[in-house]
Amino acid sequence: MADLAGFRAHAVIGDEETNAELNLYLEASKAYAAGAGVPEPDDDDALYDLMIYRLATFYHDHKAFPEQGKDAEYVGVNGMIIQLRGA
């Protein structure tokens, strides 16, 4: 399951950032996935976790508006969404 400890490890984030800030990115990523038709799995799913961590890392690294042309597609999330939806 994608969680705060996993996100910190994946994005290589130290203790200088608060759990509250990082949870915002993590929960927003889960909401994005759910809105795209990918619910949080009941069991461990490495692809789902990777998608959530990549998207949360993207949000973390681009706190301001990203450069033109950089979005979730840039970090490979859209392909993961399609695969996880089974479409």
pLDDT (tens digit, 9 = 90+) per residue, 65-82?
Answer: 656 655 555 566 777 778
pLDDT of 67 reads 62
pLDDT (tens digit, 9 = 90+) per residue, 1-58?
Answer: 999 999 999 999 989 899 999 999 999 999 999 989 999 999 999 999 999 999 999 8
pLDDT (tens digit, 9 = 90+) per residue, 29-42?
Answer: 999 999 899 999 99
The domain spans of the chain are: 4-85
Using the structure block, give the residue that is written with the tokens 């681009």.
62
